[in-house]
Amino acid sequence: MPSRFDVAIVGLGAMGSAVACQLARRGGRVLGLDRFAPPHALGSSHGQTRIIREAYFEHPAYVPLVRRAYELWAELEGQTGRALFRQTGGLMIGRPDSAVVAGAKRSAKEHSLQHEVLSAAEVRCRFPALQPCDGMIAVWEPRAGILFPEICIEAHLTMARKQGADLRSDEPALSWEDDGGAVRVITSKGAYHAGQLVLTAGSWIQSLLRDLKLPLAVERQVQFWFEPKHPVHFQPERCPIHIWEHEPGRFFYGFPDLGDGVKVARHHEGAIINPDSINREVGPEEVEAMRAFVRQFLPEADGPLRATVVCMYTNTPDGHFFIDWHPAHPQVLIASPCSGHGFKFSTVIGEVMADLLTAGQSRFDLSLFRNRFP
Ligand SMILES: Cc1cc2nc3c(=O)[nH]c(=O)nc-3n(C[C@H](O)[C@H](O)[C@H](O)COP(=O)(O)OP(=O)(O)OC[C@H]3O[C@@H](n4cnc5c(N)ncnc54)[C@H](O)[C@@H]3O)c2cc1C
């Protein structure tokens, strides 16, 4: 295999696998490197399920991106014959002035998205698994649902390989350097020359950008599965994905039971950690803290604990993504689209990055994600 490429990609998780697929489709000589063998359970993209939703409470600017992401997920399903998405509808639940409710309503209104506003009593009646208290309301969006992250990554990697990308597992990039306007990437197994470099190393991205001191913090997050006491209410036909702002600025979310129990997790409030020394054990006090929310808002899911899995968020200070060229090396594209909500966008972010790399521009408004260097 040649050691000279048009583009080298470091990190083949959610984002790296998507950009590899998009670039290979355009005919470039693409090298992809990963320190592990993706899809794996050591980064940010494991745990069976991820939420996709359209009435984006974080900011209306995400809506055009997520709409394109839906199209690309459907396209990838068609190309690979794999089931990547399951539509369940979604509920954003909180006080009327909470970020999840007010933000989802704003996005739905601004982009004319199909939605309904339900009272707590209406939610309890239509979706008996979910028991919001009086005073809460919910925004219902029918197009929301579930992506299967490991299968999605596998699908992107399969398509990238089919289209000629050279993808290498268990080969960490140790460093990279400017090579007369191109790049030289040094790995555990050798050195490669590429015209451009994409850094999509997730929680490890700062180790490849030590000079930049990006304001990114890696946060430990635990996913929990509980056995439901009344399984019928948690079937995907009766239980949509749900995100709760139970107190101002405090969130948890959950999924229907897809056969392994009811998955729930808190959004943020985890410890800030080093990805190389993260504690992957989950203590009983963490289970109890999660169970307290289950007992209050999903009481029929308060059965035995089935499983826990530790994962990592890579957060920016304001929660919006980071996608930009390296300020000193215009042939290096950096992408940290996480902050706990990036997976759903990985198809479209792959397309955006491929457009930036091959055409120098994207048709999407990326201003929320650029010019964020300290
Ligand atoms: C618990 C949890 C729940 C989430 N829920 C949702 C959700 O419901 N919806 C949603 O949209 N998003 C969600 N997210 C966020 C989403 O999963 C992430 O934004 C996304 O997976 C990040 O993808 P990534 O490609 O940046 O990182 P990863 O998928 O982790 O990929 C990074 C890759 O880089 C590799 N790597 C690192 N260093 C090197 C190196 N030096 N050399 C070579 N390879 C390297 C790693 O091995 C890894 O494979 C959640 C995240 C977590 C943790």
| Confidence (pLDDT) at 353 | 98
Whether residue 2 is predicted with pLDDT greater than 80 in this model: the reply is no
344 catalytic per annotation: yes
CA distance 349 to 338: 11
The predicted structure's pLDDT at residue 264: 98
The catalytic residue among 263, 266, 320, 341 is 263
Q: Give tens-digit pLDDT for 276-334.
A: 999 999 999 999 999 999 999 999 999 999 999 999 999 999 999 999 999 999 999 99
What confidence tier does 253 reach under pLDDT thresholds 50, 70, 90?
A: very high
Q: Residues with Cβ within 6 A of ligand 1? A: 10-16, 33-36, 38, 43-45, 47, 50-51, 172-173, 200-202, 204, 208, 221, 223, 265, 311-313, 337-338, 340-344
Catalytic residue among 50, 242, 266, 326: 50
267 carries an active-site annotation: yes
The Cα 120–Cα 93 span in angstroms is 9
pLDDT value, residue 374: 84
The pLDDT assigned to 101 comes to: 98
Mean pLDDT of the chain: 97
- In the predicted model, is pLDDT for residue 370 greater than 70? yes
* pLDDT band with cut points at 50, 70 and 90 for residue 149: very high
Burial of 238 (0-12, 13-18, 19+ CB in 10 A): middle
Q: Is 189 a catalytic residue?
A: no
Distance from Cα 96 to the centre of ligand 1, integer Å: 32
Query: What is the DSSP track for 2-68?
Result: -SEEEEEEE--SHHHHHHHHHHHHTT--EEEE-SS-SS-SSSSS-SS-EEE-SS-TT-GGGHHHHHH
For ligand 1, the distance from its centroid to the CA atom of residue 13, given in whole angstroms, is 6
Tell me the per-residue pLDDT of 229-247, one tens digit each, with 9 for 90 and over: 999 999 999 999 999 999 9
pTM: 0.98
Which amino acid is present at 296?
Q
Give 296-348 as a DSSP string: HH-GGG-S-EEEEEEEEEEE-TTS--EEEE-SS-TTEEEEE--TT--GGGHHH
What is the C-alpha separation between 332 and 80, in angstroms, rounded? 30
pLDDT of 1 strictly over 60: no
